[in-house]
Amino acid sequence: MKNLIFLLFLVSQTLQAQSIYYLKADRLFDGEVVHEKWGVVVKDRKIEVVGNQTDIERNLPAEARTLDFGNATLLPGLIEGHSHLLLHPYNETSWDDQVLKEPRAMRVARATVHAERTLMAGFTTVRDLGTEGADYDDVGLKQAINLGIIKGPRMIVATRALIATGSYAPKGFSPDVSVAQGAEEADGHDGLIKAVRTQIGKGADLIKIYADYRWGLMGEARPTYTQEEIKLIVDIASSSGRGVVAHASTTEGMRRAIEAGVETIEHGDAGTPEIFRLMASKNVCLCPTLAAGDAISQYRGWIKGSEPEPERLQKKRITFKQALDARVKICMGGDVGVFAHGDNAREMEMMVNYGMSALETLRSATSVNADAFHYTDKIGRLQGGLLADIIVVEGNPSEQISDIRRVKFVMKEGRIYKSEK
């Protein structure tokens, strides 16, 4: 009986490995450009052929299963560049209360729901930039997804993130009381080396630092780590093949992080034309997180569509345009978790609203992010040999970006997770 069960298992695995899909639609965005009447052949976990439908159909294996989506667009699985799956919107529960009062088991339970919603929205990969007080729970979440225990996107995780002692939060407690912080405090030569290596050993795919934070004399954002400290972090991380990303919203915090060798700047609110030119010259990408600022402004009482934009958002429009003019590479990432998971497309819509073309926005969420995150040879494009992360949306998001929300099909590594055909 055991032999029979084992034989059936081998047969099922063989059949699964030999499954072939032919996906076709009126148009295909390959991560760079849009093609009319193209299709893609998937075998097992990978893309085998991408090209003109007539050419594909001339040599299509008889056993291939054809899925014709008609007036729709085939795209690479989208890549969320700035996520916190272990957070949920601040208008539900404040950040402080999530860090201090919510049991980590509950936060992980929420995160499993967030992960599935993200995948169903067409985002097959997320760069998750910090657990915000949940230690290394992103590593376990990633493993559960990889093992098929739960449904979710591929995760690139930063674990705890690094902060200078005294700079982060929660705050407002008696000096005699020590409370849990939303990231790991580490300073100085030996302390930073140990913290970086520990996070790597625990499963970090990259290191995130807070190059500035709201710890100024008047509560304003000010730089935290020195440029030398940031460079030390970069040197230690890069020796293991990992990059460093920096939360930086001040001009000086951005400058220090850029000069020290980080790969991406998160937020970049106080960027200047000079700073953005420096970023472009050093090939440092900007992840602007437009949707987070928009969401927080609404949580604070701004009525969008009825009232003028707050000054903060008006300035963000200006700096985003300056970054585009300087030809800084833009990573699509909304700081989702500040707002609802599964609503990731909100950032893409705002990028277009702030002056980026729909086509460039699609590139940002696919090939640009894949390249910036060192996944060029795996995801981000519809190209032979890459993993079969493919979505289908109704309409044409290269002309109307809101069509990116009309997801009718999601495939990750050749497995279908959503199909409304």
Q: In this model, does residue 282 exceed pLDDT 60?
A: yes
pLDDT class of 15 with cuts at 50, 70, 90? very low
| Residues 69 and 84 occupy one common structural domain | no
| Residues 387 and 308 occupy one common structural domain | no
| Residues 85 and 69 occupy one common structural domain | no
Residue 277 CA from chain centroid, whole number: 24
Report the share of the chain in percent with pLDDT over 70. 95
Q: In this model, does residue 156 exceed pLDDT 50?
A: yes
| Residues 387 and 332 occupy one common structural domain | no
Q: Please report, for the domain that includes residue 87, its CATH number.
A: 3.20.20.140
Q: In this model, does residue 1 exceed pLDDT 70?
A: no
Task: Quote the number of domains for the chain.
Answer: 2
pLDDT computed for residue 85 by the predictor: 99
> Which residues span the domain enclosing 414?
16-76+381-419
Of 188, 32, 121, the C-alpha closest to 409 is 121
pLDDT computed for residue 72 by the predictor: 98
**Which letter, b or e, does each residue of 383-409 get, where b requires 16 or more Cβ atoms within 10 Å of its Cβ?**
beebbbbbbbbbbbbbeebebbbbbbb
**pLDDT, tens digit (0-9, with 9 covering 90-100), for 323-363:** 999 999 999 999 999 999 999 999 999 999 999 999 999 99
| Residues 86 and 157 occupy one common structural domain | yes
User: Is 26 part of a structural domain of the chain?
Assistant: yes
Q: What integer is the mean pLDDT of 24-38?
A: 98
| Residues 238 and 368 occupy one common structural domain | yes
Q: In this model, does residue 14 exceed pLDDT 60?
A: no
pLDDT class of 3 with cuts at 50, 70, 90? low
pLDDT computed for residue 8 by the predictor: 43
Which tokens hold the place of 60? 């299509």
pLDDT class of 280 with cuts at 50, 70, 90? very high
Mean pLDDT of the chain: 95
Q: What integer is the mean pLDDT of 27-50?
A: 98
Query: What's the Cα-to-Cα distance from 302 to each of 22, 49, 81, 95, 268, rounded to whole Å?
Result: 47, 49, 26, 19, 22
pLDDT class of 315 with cuts at 50, 70, 90? very high
Q: What integer is the mean pLDDT of 127-146?
A: 98
**pLDDT, tens digit (0-9, with 9 covering 90-100), for 82-126:** 999 999 999 999 999 999 999 999 999 999 999 999 999 999 999
| Residues 326 and 405 occupy one common structural domain | no
Other beta carbons within 10 Å of 143: 12
User: Is 400 part of a structural domain of the chain?
Assistant: yes
pLDDT class of 10 with cuts at 50, 70, 90? very low
Q: In this model, does residue 301 exceed pLDDT 60?
A: yes
pLDDT computed for residue 89 by the predictor: 98
pLDDT class of 9 with cuts at 50, 70, 90? very low
pLDDT computed for residue 216 by the predictor: 96
| Residues 99 and 67 occupy one common structural domain | no
**pLDDT, tens digit (0-9, with 9 covering 90-100), for 215-240:** 999 999 999 999 999 999 999 999 99
Which tokens hold the place of 88? 């949920």
